[in-house]
Structure 1
């Protein structure tokens, strides 16, 4: 325990904390925490499956911290989210199970296909007004899309929050409401996937704790900033973030 404490308080621990803060801010606002977190952890030599496990723990705990705030303030109805959280939990475990049986290259290929599909959906939706400045009539949500997004999230997950945000936007929720609902779904999928990785024995607490503490701080900052974002900004930034994620994954495949 003493060695872990020294590791958390070291320069490397502070760097991991800062990475967690930045990743969570980007994750809450644009659904792309993996754009910062995954390559940063891979660059310091952490194996892909251990990196995914840390990412799931950090995102899950930071999502829980914002979920509790949103539930207490009644900004999101828990009754509405419970079915979505249940299927997301099942999807997260399923994705983690699949990931432990796939190679890193296969995981990157699957991620690339998903992100390219998402990029095309965002571009097409922008032409018809995916993000509106005014509140539209919210459409009923289904369980199928969140389940498959959660499978992807549990297995690897770059852009999974963006997939959830895009899904809720297509159901005519406001951008802020979509971001808030995504935190509930991400909590369920990430924590269920993390539990699988934990019992599988690939969690490094020396990395997971500073990243997670940073993610908690960053998630609250991100929600504060998200409330000030205008629809036209989101409509411009969502495809850019999607494209950057695709470039990152293709770079991992090639190099």
Structure 2
């Protein structure tokens, strides 16, 4: 993957940052996309460069098509065309469905689904023209099993499955692949801040009896971005410790 250019949306923190840093260790050109966390994005750039990659931080709200198109211009000016796109950007607005406002519904679907649409359409020609273009969408175990108080998030993450499989069919004509990674409960800042009783329950419900790590998700994404996955497309790969067994 050395010298391949990889765009990772929402990569200033959490799983996205882990993916971006993993690409850095492969010697990639990495685009750290962020919406508002400029300081954390620059820290990610430094970590990637220390690991042997090249990186830039680019601000763009994925719900804003014009902002995403400006990101493409900056990426092209710095690194050229894109080989790998990871649609990772996401948010949650947790509330019981009976109390959920239309705004709380819309904002989550906008970031996850409109964001994936904007970024994929903007970089589609790059992926199609690349020598082994890779589209990788980050979904969630919640997209498969639902979750109390997350009707908006579960719907958005489930939508990523159909989006991935359709893009796999269409990109296949160009020799590019599209796959999806569905993490379970990963030890990100958001999960670590849950009450201990909730984390204990999550672990007890997971066959491997622990939370996953960001690095474990990033390894799967790195594999899907590499030439080793060249005959894999349209798949949803779970990284969840056996949670749905």
Q: TM-score, normalised by structure 2?
A: 0.30
TM-score by length of 1: 0.29
* Structure with more relative contact order (C-alpha pairs < 8 Å, separation 6 or more): 1
Higher helix share: 1
- Greater fraction strand: 2
